[in-house]
Amino acid sequence: MSTAAQVAVVTVVRGRHEHLVRQQRSLSAGTVRPGRWVVVAMDDEEIEPLLTAAADAVALEVVPLPCDPAALPLAAARNLGAARAIAAGATTLVFLDVDCLAGPELVAAYDAAVVDDPDVVWSGPVTYLPDGLGEEQLARPWELDAPHPARSMPPPGQHVLGAPPELFWSLSFALSARAWERVGGFCEEYVGYGGEDTDFGFLVCARGLEHGWLGGARAYHQHHRVERPPVRHLDDILRNGAVFARRWGWWPMTGWLEEMQAQGLVVRDGDGWARAPASGVGPPP
């Protein structure tokens, strides 16, 4: 097992502590370890004591980010993590959602792809794991490999260029530090749920870079409860959707908005969307 000193993994987190601990184990057990794992803790002081400093664990840096827990600054947190990683000398940045376990080849595959094509933003397949798995199964998630069908990913050992920017997903992706600085990071006008991923996808193309699918960089998303549609994030979706529309000329997340329209929670407002009168939906708990 080797360490790629030039690779940093960036994870942003609030809560999901068990998921984060398992992610640490998966990174430490990879065929190639990152030189640094930067964990940005959004208003979460409990993170650092949970993570092991054992000799066989990946090198860790926890970066605190005070914030309003009802409006998590996901874009700003990723930017902060990237800045810390680059300042420490990283030339390959891997972003991994806190719910994702790294497959054994994830770091190695991302690093090789970034070195070969440093002007491509690479995304690997993500399998959504079922509920009820035991620790032994979670330690070997590749045995349940079944990537999400919304992203048409190549098999291990292959890559495909020209991935659509609207399908960019921040769950798992990698790029060179040079490409990151050229894109300028995530737009920090987005706060809370939704919009910043798609915005970043279009920024990549606007800056003359390209998206690619990378079959070897496989990740495994640990189960957690979800709300469909995400009604408790209604205000975030409306605010961030308006930001996106101003920047790009069209509204994202229309599937969620149309479902909430059918529930009487939102209405069309000219070319955009707004809360329905007396919708009765409050801010997130």
Do 212 and 254 belong to one domain?
Answer: no
Give domain status of residue 269, yes or no: yes
Q: What is the DSSP letter of 141?
A: G
| Two structure tokens written together for 124 | 């690997």
Do 132 and 82 belong to one domain?
Answer: yes
* Distance (Å, whole) CA 115 – CA 251: 35
For residue 6, give the CATH number of its domain.
3.90.550.10
3-class SS at 172?
Answer: strand
Do 110 and 76 belong to one domain?
Answer: yes
Do 27 and 50 belong to one domain?
Answer: yes
Do 126 and 249 belong to one domain?
Answer: no
Give domain status of residue 258, yes or no: yes
Q: What is the pLDDT of residues 88-109, one digit of tens each?
A: 999 999 999 999 999 999 999 9
Total tally of structural domains belonging to the chain:
2
Q: What is the per-residue pLDDT for 253? A: 93
Give domain status of residue 283, yes or no: no
Question: Which stretches in the chain have pLDDT values below 50?
Answer: 282-285
Which one of 178, 199, 221 terminates a domain? 221
Give domain status of residue 282, yes or no: no
Do 185 and 262 belong to one domain?
Answer: no
For residue 19, what are the contacts with CB-CB under 8 A and spacing of at least 6?
Answer: 98, 99, 222, 224
Give domain status of residue 186, yes or no: yes
Q: What is the per-residue pLDDT for 50? A: 86
Do 37 and 169 belong to one domain?
Answer: yes
* Distance (Å, whole) CA 2 – CA 108: 10
Give domain status of residue 284, yes or no: no
Do 192 and 246 belong to one domain?
Answer: no
Provide the β-strand partners of residue 161: 212
Q: What is the per-residue pLDDT for 285? A: 34
Do 87 and 190 belong to one domain?
Answer: yes
Q: Range of 175's domain?
A: 2-221
Give domain status of residue 61, yes or no: yes
Do 29 and 168 belong to one domain?
Answer: yes
Do 94 and 179 belong to one domain?
Answer: yes
Give domain status of residue 200, yes or no: yes
Do 13 and 33 belong to one domain?
Answer: yes
